[in-house]
């Protein structure tokens, strides 16, 4: 059994999807599938059920997942120690981030870190806020970045930037004229496309609704998707509304493919998670400071900014 096989197994187990797991570990779907088959064949076990085009963990796979995660965590701890001894010249840093941050906010920060510490290998795993918090609790990730609320006593939460949610619709939607909407219209005037349960975007939107006196259960939800891109594509081609980050919707709004509805939603924080009882490495400390620095730059930049637009 190799370290790479363990990484691949955990990636597939967490996503129950070969293509997404392959993207997360930087391999092709066929290579990921071959690695799983090799593990199962060598040890004479079945780790996944193949149900049509879906895959799901077997009972054996669920038991092995805990041990695989613990082993990966121990290897990363050893890498961290060597990195410290090498003065950040070598090493690795595992980052887990929720989707909006990972897609739009984090890549420039990672590039700046790479320029300063080219010997530190960064790995990024994308999930929703709940998945990122779980990765931090289990020791799979050393740094977590989320846009949703996290209430875990074992984790510290540090704000690094501020985001704005907007309600967007297609140009032909009745709300596309930009007139100001009364809060009750959100539950009466349209159907909605939402992010999945557990996503930071959905949690923040539901909190904003309650702040306006609207219970989220009153909304008519046509469908839910596991990515911002899927939500935006559905809204662009249909008659529904969606609440998304301006970071995701901005380009489509500027091109005229989407319109902003006339309702103001409360903003939300982009936050960095730490485990309170685990030792913080020099690499993770340096990365955290870069995140704070990036947030300060975004918020103080002259003119409107996609991440700090009022």
Residue 28 tokens read as 């092709």
Higher pLDDT, 53 or 107: 107
Contacts of 173 (CB under 8 A, 6+ apart): 190, 239, 241, 259, 261
Residue 3 has a pLDDT of 83
Query: Using 50, 70 and 90 to split pLDDT, how confident is the model at 170?
Result: very high
**86-163+267-310 and 165-266 agree in CATH topology:** yes
- Candidates 242, 214, 238, 240; CA nearest to 228 is 242
Cα–Cα dist 297/310, whole Å: 16
The answer to whether the CB of 69 falls within 8 A of the CB of 136 is no
pLDDT higher than 80, residue 304: no
Write out pLDDT tens, residues 83-131: 654 566 677 889 999 888 998 899 999 999 999 888 888 999 988 888 8
Residue 242 tokens read as 């969606």
Percent of the chain at pLDDT exceeding 70: 92
Contacts of 1 (CB under 8 A, 6+ apart): 39, 42, 43
Considering the four listed CATH numbers 3.60.15.10, 3.10.20.30, 3.40.190.10, 3.40.50.10480, the one that applies to the domain covering 86-163+267-310 is 3.40.190.10
Q: Name beta bridge partners: 272.
A: 145, 158
pTM, rounded to two decimals: 0.62
Average pLDDT value for residue range 291-307: 57
Cα–Cα dist 288/109, whole Å: 10
Average pLDDT value for residue range 10-27: 88
Q: Where are the domains of the chain?
A: 1-75, 86-163+267-310, 165-266
Write out pLDDT tens, residues 266-280: 888 899 999 998 888
Strands 91-98, 155-163: pairing is unpaired
The fold of 1-75 is: Arc Repressor Mutant, subunit A (1.10.10)
CA neighbours closer than 13 Å in the CB half-sphere of residue 310: 2
* 80-89, 167-176, 217-226: least confident range: 80-89
Mean pLDDT of the chain: 87
Cα–Cα dist 155/161, whole Å: 18
**CA 137 to mean position of chain CA atoms:** 16
Write out pLDDT tens, residues 224-238: 998 899 999 999 988
CATH number of 165-266: 3.40.190.290
Q: Is 26 exposed, middle or buried (0-12, 13-18, 19+ CB in 10 A)?
A: exposed
Q: Name beta bridge partners: 144.
A: 96, 273
Calculate ∠ Cα 76-82-83, nearest 5°.
85
């Amino acid at each position: 059994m190799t370290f790479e096989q363990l990484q691949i197994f955990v990636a597939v187990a967490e996503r129950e999807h070969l293509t997404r797991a392959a993207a997360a570990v930087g391999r092709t779907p066929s290579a990921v599938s071959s690695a799983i088959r090799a593990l199962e064949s060598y040890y004479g076990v079945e780790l996944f059920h193949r149900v049509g085009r879906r895959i799901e963990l077997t009972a054996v796979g669920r038991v092995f997942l805990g041990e695989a995660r613990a082993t990966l965590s121990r290897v990363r701890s050893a890498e961290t120690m060597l990195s410290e001894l090498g003065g950040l010249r070598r090493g690795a840093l595992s980052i887990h981030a929720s989707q909006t941050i990972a897609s739009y906010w984090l890549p420039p920060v990672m590039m700046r870190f790479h320029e300063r510490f080219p010997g530190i290998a960064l790995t990024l795993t994308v999930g929703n806020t709940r998945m990122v918090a779980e990765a931090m609790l289990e020791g799979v990730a050393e740094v977590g970045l989320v846009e949703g609320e996290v209430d875990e006593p074992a984790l510290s939460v540090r704000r690094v930037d501020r985001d704005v949610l907007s309600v967007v619709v297609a140009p032909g939607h009745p709300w596309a004229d930009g007139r100001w909407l009364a809060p009750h219209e959100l539950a009466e005037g349209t159907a909605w496309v939402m992010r999945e349960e557990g996503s930071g975007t959905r949690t923040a939107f539901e909190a904003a609704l309650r702040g306006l006196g609207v219970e989220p259960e009153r909304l008519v939800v046509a469908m839910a998707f596991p990515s911002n891109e899927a939500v935006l594509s559905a809204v662009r081609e249909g008659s529904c509304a969606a609440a998304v980050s301006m970071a995701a919707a901005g380009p489509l709004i500027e091109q005229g493919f989407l319109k902003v509805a006339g309702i103001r939603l409360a903003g939300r924080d982009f936050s960095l998670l730490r485990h309170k009882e685990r030792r913080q490495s020099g690499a993770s400390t340096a990365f955290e400071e870069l995140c704070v620095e990036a947030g300060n730059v975004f918020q103080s930049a002259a003119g409107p900014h996609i991440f700090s637009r009022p």
